[in-house]
């Protein structure tokens, strides 16, 4: 069984309006929410074996903060330029090419691609908030075979959810 957790980057800073979108850092709220959400993942007993991130600064920082919670080596986070504002089809294509030795992956990225991917895989969401997690399980042992036909909703969590 393969498992994917989509992790939308933390809230980004907009205090420098002329900064290129790709270079935008996390805002204070993002820096606060991401470790809290990572701790919630860890409390679920989730043990990711791959961190795959968009190359955008805010996504990489979200991945790094999450990795720190899990003790996952920062230098093993895979950054992929193609995940930056990728379509759901592009995200799936990247995942389809992963090595089957990975069982549980965290994918750090952006909307609208994540919203559309959730819908494509049979999930339902109006808007995946910043720092939120949306998990799927797939009834297959091969990344190349994941699709909406073998997907199952796993969980959804977001920073403002009351515990």
Closest CA to 37 of 60, 61, 10, 3: 10
Query: Quick check: is 11 in a domain?
Result: yes
Domain holding 123, by residue range, is 2-157
**Residue 10, token pair as written in the block:** 């933390």
Residues 64-103 have pLDDT tens digits of 999 999 999 999 999 999 999 999 999 999 999 999 999 9
Contacts of 101 (CB under 8 A, 6+ apart): 49
CATH number, domain of 137, equals: 3.40.50.1240
* Domain tally, the chain: 1
Tell me, yes or no, whether 163 lies in a domain.
no
Structural domain includes residue 90: yes
CB count in 10 Å sphere of residue 58:
27
| Any domain includes 162 | no
Is the pTM higher than 0.85?
Answer: yes
Percent of the chain whose pLDDT exceeds 70: 99
């Amino acid at each position: 069984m393969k498992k994917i957790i989509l992790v939308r980057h933390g809230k980004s800073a907009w205090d420098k309006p002329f900064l290129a979108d790709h270079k935008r850092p996390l805002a204070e709220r993002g820096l606060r929410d991401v470790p809290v959400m990572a701790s919630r993942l860890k409390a679920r007993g989730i043990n990711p074996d791959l961190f795959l991130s968009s190359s955008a600064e805010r996504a990489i920082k979200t991945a790094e903060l999450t990795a720190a919670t899990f003790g996952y080596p920062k230098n093993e986070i895979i950054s992929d330029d193609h995940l930056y504002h990728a379509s759901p089809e592009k995200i799936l294509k990247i995942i389809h090419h992963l090595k089957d030795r990975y069982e549980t992956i965290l994918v750090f990225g952006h909307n609208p691609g994540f919203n559309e991917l959730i819908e494509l895989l049979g999930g339902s969401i109006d808007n995946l908030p910043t720092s939120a997690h949306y998990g799927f399980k797939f009834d297959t042992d091969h990344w190349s075979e994941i699709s909406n036909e073998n997907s199952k909703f796993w969980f959804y969590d977001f920073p403002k959810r009351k515990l």
